[in-house]
Amino acid sequence: MIATDRLIIDLRSRYPSLPDLPIGIFSGELQSQARLITASIGDVLFEEGKACEGFPLVLEGEICVSRRSDDGTRIVELYRVTPGEICVVSAAGLLTNKKLTARGTAAVPSELLLLSPDLFNRWTEYAGFRQFVFGLFAERLADLMNLIDAIAFQRLDRRLAQHLLGHGQVLRTTHQALADELGTVREIVTRLLNRFEVAGYVGLARERIEVLDAARLRAVAGGNNFSP
């Protein structure tokens, strides 16, 4: 890759905890041990069960990290990686030298830098970068635990439908507030609300949710399978 000054400025603006090295050294490391990757929607960036080829730093776009069921018929989205965030599956693979436990695909047209395993390990020797990686690692772990809790113990779509029906036709709240009340994370609530909207159950606006089809929401709340 060509590590231009502009590229390094963009990289540091998104990841300010990167090693504070002189730009010449920083550029040289990226030149020899990183690849610039441009991906289209749906492109597979890494695959479950394969060795981790490097650590992705997202410059533009969004990576969707997911797992498939054993029979390949179901996909569960775990999280998404945007500029300034890290992929904990990649970090775990590099730190433990084990195969990847999920796959990553481009959710939108994306651009990222893939650091070599050696460069990632060397940068983790710097306190700022190490604290950044493990801080986001802890946040992602908390998100994943909430996701597992929602899947394992109660269908979240049922709980969300029950909650929406209990506040009149129009509920003025945020996705984060709903997530807090339901004991889950905002990303999961947003995903479910978007599915409810596509199905015609609700209408969404900024800090406003309107119940459009209470009967169908009530069916979901009563335990019927939701299929938009």
Q: How far is it, in rounded angstroms, from Cα 209 to Cα 203?
A: 6
Cβ-contact 144, 79 below 8 angstroms: yes
Report the pLDDT value the prediction gives residue 7, as an integer from 0 to 100. 80
Q: What is the pLDDT of residues 56-91, one digit of tens each?
A: 999 999 999 988 877 766 677 778 899 988 899 999
What's the topology of domain 154-221?
Arc Repressor Mutant, subunit A (1.10.10)
Specify the residue for token string 């938009």. 228
Contact in structure between 61 and 109 (CB atoms under 8 Å): yes
> Domain 5-152 - what CATH class?
mainly beta
What angle, 0 to 180 degrees and rounded to 10, lies between the N-to-C axes of helices 214-221 and 156-165? 130
Q: What is the pTM of this model?
A: 0.62
pLDDT of residue 140: 75
Torsion sign, CA atoms 195, 42, 45, 57: negative
Q: Where are the domains of the chain?
A: 5-152, 154-221
Specify whether the CB–CB gap between 116 and 34 falls below 8 A.
yes
Q: What 8-state DSSP symbol labels residue 75?
A: E
CA-based nearest residue to 187, from 153, 140, 137: 140
Span 121-159, pLDDT tens digits: 988 888 888 888 888 888 877 776 766 665 554 578 888
In this prediction, residue 15 carries a pLDDT of 86
Q: What's the pLDDT tens digit per position in 162-211?
A: 888 867 788 899 999 888 778 788 888 999 999 999 999 999 999 999 99
